[in-house]
A and B are shown apart, each in its own frame.
Chain A
Amino acid sequence: MKSRRLFKDNLARSIMWFSAIFCILLVILIGFALFQRSRYILAMKSLADLFFLDSWHPLKGEFGFFPFIMGTLWVTCTAVIISVPLSFLTAIYLSEYAPRMIREWAKPAIDLLAGIPSVIYGVWGILVIVPLTKNYIAPFFGRHSSGYTVFAAGVVLAVMIFPVIIHVSIEVFRSVSFELREASWALGATKWQTIKHVVVRKALPGIIAANVLGFSRAFGETMAVLMVAGNVPKAPSSILDPAYPLPALIANNYGEMLSIPLYDSALLMAALVLFIVVLFFSILSRFALVRVERSSE
Chain B
Amino acid sequence: MESTSHITVQNLNVYYGDNHALKDITINIPDKQITAIIGPSGCGKTTLLRAFNRLIDTVDGVRITGKVLVDGEDIFDPRADVTMVRKKMGLLSQRPYPLPMSIFDNVAYGPKIHGIRKKKVLEEIVEHHLKMASLWEEVRDRLHEPASRLSIGQQQRLCLARGLAVEPEFILADEPTSALDPKSSLYIENRFRELRSQFSIILVTHILRQARRLADYIVFLYLGELIEHGPVNEIFENPREERTREYIRGVIS
Contact = CB atoms under 8 A, between A and B. Distances in A.
Nearest to B111: A187
B33 interface: no
A297 B100 CA distance: 11
Interface string A176-207: 01011111111111100100011001100000
Contacts of A190: 83, 113
Given A183-B159, A186-B55, A187-B86, 16 more contacts: A177-B97, A180-B99, A182-B58, A182-B91, A182-B93, A186-B53, A186-B163, A187-B91, A187-B166, A188-B83, A188-B84, A193-B113, A197-B99, A197-B113, A201-B100, A201-B101
Contact of A187 (B60, B95, B109, B148): B109
25 contacts: A179-B93, A180-B97, A182-B55, A182-B93, A182-B97, A183-B93, A186-B53, A186-B55, A186-B90, A186-B91, A187-B87, A187-B109, A187-B110, A187-B166, A188-B86, A188-B110, A188-B114, A189-B83, A189-B110, A190-B83, A193-B113, A197-B99, A197-B101, A201-B100, A295-B100
A144 interface: no
Interface residues of B, number: 26
A180 B159 CA distance: 11
Contacts of B84: 188
B157 interface: no
A190 to B, nearest CB: 6
A185 B58 contact: yes
Interface string B142-173: 00000010000000000100110010000000
B14 interface: no
B130 interface: no
Contacts of A180: 97, 99-100
Nearest 9 CB-CB pairs, A to B? A188-B87, A186-B91, A187-B110, A202-B100, A188-B83, A183-B97, A188-B86, A189-B113, A179-B97
Given A177-B97, A201-B101, A183 B110 contact: no
Contacts of B162: 183, 187
Interface residues of A, number: 21
Classify the interface of chain A: helix, strand, loop or mixed.
helix
A183 B95 CA distance: 11
A201 B98 CA distance: 13
Which of A182, A183, A187 counts the most B-chain CB atoms under 10 A from its CB?
A187
Interface in A185-234: 185-190, 193, 197-198, 201-202
B214 interface: no
Contacts of A183: 91, 93, 97, 99, 159, 162
B89 interface: yes
Interface string B86-121: 110111010101011100000001100110000000
A197 to B, nearest CB: 7
A187 B91 CA distance: 8
A179 B95 CA distance: 9
B166 A198 contact: no
A100 interface: yes
A245 B127 CA distance: 57
Interface string B41-83: 0000000000001010010100000000000000000000001
Contacts of A179: 93, 95, 97
A202 B87 CA distance: 23
Contacts of B99: 180, 183-184, 197-198
Interface string A16-39: 000000000000000000000000
Interface string A131-161: 0000000000000000000000000000000
B85 to A, nearest CB: 8
Nearest to A184: B99
A179 B53 CA distance: 14
Contacts of A177: 97
Nearest to B87: A188
Contacts of B101: 197, 201
